Amino acid sequence: MSFLEKYETIRAHSVAICSALEKEDYVVQPVVDVSPPKWHLGHTTWFFETFILKPYAEAYQEYNADFNYVFNSYYETLGARVIRTDRGNLSRPTVDEVYRYRDYVDQAMASFLSEKEPDAEWAEVLILGLNHEQQHQELLWYDIKYILGHNPLLPAYKSEGIDDHLLAAPSDSEWVSIAEGIYDIGHDGEDFHFDNEKGRHKVYLPSSEVSANLVTNGEYLQFVEQGGYRDFNYWHAEGLEWVKSNQVIAPLYWHAINGKWHQYTLSGLKPIVLDAPVSHVSFYEAAAYAQWKGMRLPTEFEWEIASRNLNWGKLWEWTESAYLPYPGFAKAPGAIGEYNGKFMVNQKVLRGGSVATAAQHSRYTYRNFFHPYLRWMFSGIRLVK
């Protein structure tokens, strides 16, 4: 597939994700961690305009000079920007204007990619930009679900949602054994990978057993009903404070209705499926549940080694590992260097992928990362003993 074909395919998928939205849905920002869908469409467009067209397309005319301020996310190198909490205040540019911006940049990119011979410098940035858009496609799923799932009417996105197929196929075995030893960790190969996967290195692991299956709704329901959220013994101090401050009593999107638990999905509110893996849990909840079971979460290194024998990819899986650089990690110069390295503090690594993850991102070395209190992403729990 040519660069142009890849570009057009990936860009079209972002539009397809938003196709079921009403215009009013595009501008909502219920909490700071959720960005309006309109902003995602503009930001991913800004990436190609800023990092490909402006530096490499000689005759390109910038669409709107103000859009660097509107759609820059966190790149300090590129100047001032709308702060994250104010993205929901952007009634202008309108949804129609953002789509016009998107079409304008897409036409310029089509001309650029048709006329230019691949150059190692811009081709590397283009591939990063395509992977960046796929990351935002996953964020679009998270944010759309949060926006609709916090509308008092709990409207469905569609009659069938990507989270309707979260039934995990049980493994033939219950546990995957890891023998004590020294293992190689990190990406090995020339195919695309993010900089935080680089730095293949050796890690010593003691022997352990990793659960072949994710924790299910039915299993987690026992924790809920037996007072797990009220017993301080299972919680990190910070996690317990989070529970109390936010009055958390169950996973995100769980609703107790007439004595029965229901769960909001992209296809609407439904009774929880007991055999489905529990989803939308924070690290605090995952760690507390593991404590309740007398077990723990895997480290990201245990997960990587065990993954060859695991059925993974339904939900991102919390690990016990802090998000830190691998040996030899170095940030790239300029704005691109701000992509991952600046976030390597106070976050936990998640591994595996989810129903919202692009297929090209489902590799066992992929390191996702979030703050431990977050749970609007498709996250689940795997145990170790």
Q: Which residues pair with 264 in a beta bridge?
A: 269
**Alpha-carbon gap, residue 10 to 44, rounded angstroms:** 11
Q: What is the mean pLDDT of residues 336-343?
A: 81
Tokens of 257: 């209705």
- Cα separation, 68 vs 296, in Å, equals 44
Q: What is the pTM of this model?
A: 0.96
Which pLDDT score, from 0 to 100, does residue 238 have?
Answer: 98
Q: Tell me: pLDDT of 118 over 90.
A: no
Q: Which of 331, 338, 367 is nearest to 51 (CA)?
A: 338
Confidence band for 341, pLDDT divided at 50, 70 and 90: confident
More reliable by pLDDT, 156 or 79: 156
What whole-number distance in Å separates Cα of residue 327 and Cα of residue 325?
6
- Interval 278-333: pLDDT, tens: 999 999 999 999 999 999 999 999 999 999 999 999 999 999 999 999 999 988 88
What does the block give as tokens for 92? 């202008």
Q: Are strands 316-322 and 379-380 parallel, antiparallel or unpaired?
A: parallel
DSSP 51: I
CA dihedral 221, 226, 229, 233 (to 10 degrees): -130
pLDDT value of residue 303: 98
Cis, peptide link before residue 298, omega less than 30° from 0:
no
- The mean of the pLDDT values for the chain is 95
Helix or strand holding residue 131 (H, E): helix 120-149
Residue with tokens 């309006």: 36
pLDDT band at 151 (very low <50, low <70, confident <90, very high): very high
What phi and psi values does residue 277 have, to the nearest 5 degrees? Answer: -65, 140
- In this prediction, residue 170 has a pLDDT band, given cuts at 50, 70 and 90, of low
Residue 261 sits at φ, ψ, to 5 deg, of -85, 135
What SS3 class is residue 255? strand
Output the pLDDT for position 169.
61
Q: Tell whether the torsion through CA atoms of 301, 303, 309 and 311 is positive or negative.
A: negative
> CB 156: neighbour CB atoms within 10 A?
17
Mean pLDDT computed over 55-61: 95
Structure tokens that stand for 45 in this block: 């467009």
Tally of CB atoms within 10 A around 249: 12
Rounded-to-integer distance, Cα 361 and Cα 301, Å: 18
* Whole-number Å distance between alpha carbons of 335 and 327: 22
> Quick one: tokens of 87?
């993205």
Residue positions counted in the chain: 385
Q: Quick one: tokens of 272?
A: 């929880």
- Neighbour tally for 37: CB within 10 Å: 25
Q: What is the pLDDT of residue 259?
A: 93
Q: Among 209, 152, 382, which Cα is nearest to 289's?
A: 382
